[in-house]
Amino acid sequence: MRKDKNQWGARKIRVKLLEEYIEEAVPSTTTINNILKREKLITPNKRRRLVEPQRPVFDPCANNEIWSVDHKGKFYLGNGRRCSPMTVCDSKSRYLLLAKGQYKETWWDTQKEL
């Protein structure tokens, strides 16, 4: 069956066998896959090359050299309004300088809080 339809995998072959041979026992997907591997009808996927981690783009040498501002997720308050917490963090020490809830994530609203 695989030789006729070379794009079919083990799952598709099993479905077709179940449709064709309703009353007979059909092997599992894993068994069909093992048979295809043994007969060299499928080739294993190439392993992805591991990439070395990149060094940080901004690598501060001292505290307070670089601060980062970020909005951390969203959630709904009891009054039904959406809150988006804004955080200001020191990049070297990871010290949290400010955490404040905002209703909007716009540039103007963020500037007002700073």
Rounded to whole angstroms, the Cα distance separating 101 from 91 reads 21
pLDDT, one tens digit for every residue, the chain (114 residues):
556 667 788 898 899 889 888 778 889 999 999 998 898 888 877 888 888 877 767 788 899 999 988 988 888 999 999 999 999 999 889 899 999 988 888 888 888 877
State whether residue 71 is helix, strand or coil. strand
pTM, rounded to two decimals? 0.47
Rounded to whole angstroms, the Cα distance separating 103 from 79 reads 12
